[in-house]
Structure 1
């Protein structure tokens, strides 16, 4: 029988986070929504991260489990380790809301309640994901006035843009409902190159709704250990530099985005017309890609460099030179 009081699941990935994790755990405990449980996957930390979590766990029974990520290492695989554990070990009816948490940020006090209200507004019969803006803070925890939306347009006005850029949905800001969770295909052994936030958001785009909250609900710590970077807009000098010195890295980034798209399409519960056309666009490139971008009005950024690189790389199909992409394409043949 389903419980009467709705409950949230928070999934956290940690690695050598002893300097900041107390602040994040404190911010979770201070939420004005209190009916949550926390499950953590630690990527075999060599510092006192797990000891600190265990200390909190002794005082708070809502911190349920600390998993050790043993097979593949890295931020992506670490998240999917905890996702797979929940999929395989917790009843489908146990949680109503799903949240994702980094070890070094801080949540504002009403983050969970605001996002839960958005999910409730759309009901339980549609797959809904919401995400918010972020406010920057320094490595030492000083809160700045600058927000992520000041750096880049993270409002996903055209949801299909998500399949060509990972600049939009930041996992630590997002929440979704059970309907979306039930749709997810999770296999951690295949997830070493897949970002959990974009992957989950793709389900919402194709099978439900994705909502942007124009308010910073997370304090986002910037330091040299961040896995994700900050997108930016570029002038002519930076464009020329990217076209020469940085082009191989840009090609690799595009290739990985398209690999994520193919993984999602190949494991989705069913394929929509958009997904079929997207797959053809990626596998064929050239004129097929040009027509696809025009049909769905794909523009992931207002910067000249962003638009130019998307077209050059997708039209020429140069992203297919990536070894991992060639292996996937061979499987499609």
Structure 2
């Protein structure tokens, strides 16, 4: 059983060798790897090829494609559209600067194998161990205190793409969807909207390397909370919502009846403008049953709905 790992890279020479090494040292699974490289110079492509040679990886197990050079999200979208569904049973996203525990993919495969209806989307995801640049552990990423659902997915992603492994049906739906704001967020929305199964693992199998380029995304404290509040009260989050609505539009007929009604109500909430409709927005937010994983954040988003920021 082959798992295809989709890695979006861009000038990743500093840490990429460690990541690729950890991918090909996975236990009890066959792994193929496809890079979408966004680097400007040809030297980066040569580096990727040299890494595989240095690690003794069969060249047939690695494919390198040129990325669109439109940012990380477009790079992952390019990977999604480029890979062949029929070549693998399961698929995984990978960042370029993490390190995977040796049983990451095996655990994901075993948990996904318990989902018997392969015609429905299923996805495995979980927590990460956030580390410093030298991979010294700092803290665990947040857990999931409330259930995974489409009503939650419309407001947030509950795990990083670097933890996600999913089946062919999920990939087919991702290919059908529009351009995402974030590939991991879209994956969570797609699976929950279309009646699929989300498996969340509290045990971390990814060492998430925190450095200057990703410190906001990994930080679990005040910096991240302030960053999120700033995004929410500006129009950034509202813009993301608009993009997500468009990305989900091609999947309306694939959604469950309940998800379709929730999606339509969410579109209505987004389109409800004007200060005089603030109470109507708040009422609709509550009626739809939208929620965040953490209560404090949930009330912040209720306020955002009241202010027309969703």
TM-score per shorter chain, which class? Answer: 0.7 to 0.9
2:6 matched to which residue of 1? 11
2:251 matched to which residue of 1? 268
Deviation at 1:73, TM superposition (A): 1.8
Which is further off, 224-233 or 126-135?
224-233
Structure 1 position 84 matched with structure 2 position 81: yes
Which is further off, 103-112 or 30-39?
30-39
2:308 matched to which residue of 1? 317
8 Å CA contact 1:136–1:221 kept in 2: the answer is yes
CA distance 1:249–1:274, shift in 2 (3 Å)? closer
Give the gaps of 5 or more residues in structure 1: 1-5, 320-333
Distance in 2 separating the partners of 1:12 and 1:95: 15
CA distance 1:247–1:146, shift in 2 (3 Å)? closer
Structure 1 position 195 matched with structure 2 position 182: yes
1:222 matched to which residue of 2? 210
Task: Calculate the aligned-residue CA RMSD, in Å.
Answer: 2.9
Which is further off, 57-66 or 173-182?
57-66
2:241 matched to which residue of 1? 258
Structure 1 position 114 matched with structure 2 position 111: no
Q: 1:140 aligns with which of 134, 142, 160?
A: 134
Which is further off, 31-40 or 60-69?
60-69
Q: Deviations over 1:128-180 (max 9, x none)?
A: 111011001111222x152102xxx44552422121123x1210001111121
Deviation at 1:75, TM superposition (A): 0.7
2:122 matched to which residue of 1? 128
Q: 2:19 aligns with which of 12, 24, 40?
A: 24
8 Å CA contact 2:232–2:309 kept in 1: the answer is no
CA distance 1:16–1:267, shift in 2 (3 Å)? same
Deviation at 1:261, TM superposition (A): 2.8
2:266 matched to which residue of 1? 278
1:300 matched to which residue of 2? 292
Structure 1 SS opposite 2:4: strand
CA distance 1:21–1:49, shift in 2 (3 Å)? farther
Structure 2 SS opposite 1:99: strand
* Number of residue pairs matched by the alignment: 295
Q: Deviations over 1:232-290 (max 9, x none)?
A: 5669xx99x889xx746742332133123312331215152222222212222644532
Deviation at 1:318, TM superposition (A): 4.1
- 5 Å-filtered alignment, 1:140-219, equals 140-142=134-136, 144=137, 146-149=139-142, 153-154=143-144, 157-159=147-149, 160-166=151-157, 168-186=158-176, 191=179, 194-207=181-194, 208-219=196-207
Distance in 2 separating the partners of 1:145 and 1:234: 15
8 Å CA contact 1:18–1:47 kept in 2: the answer is no
8 Å CA contact 1:185–1:267 kept in 2: the answer is no
8 Å CA contact 1:14–1:103 kept in 2: the answer is yes
Structure 1 SS opposite 2:86: coil
TM-score, normalised with respect to structure 1: 0.78
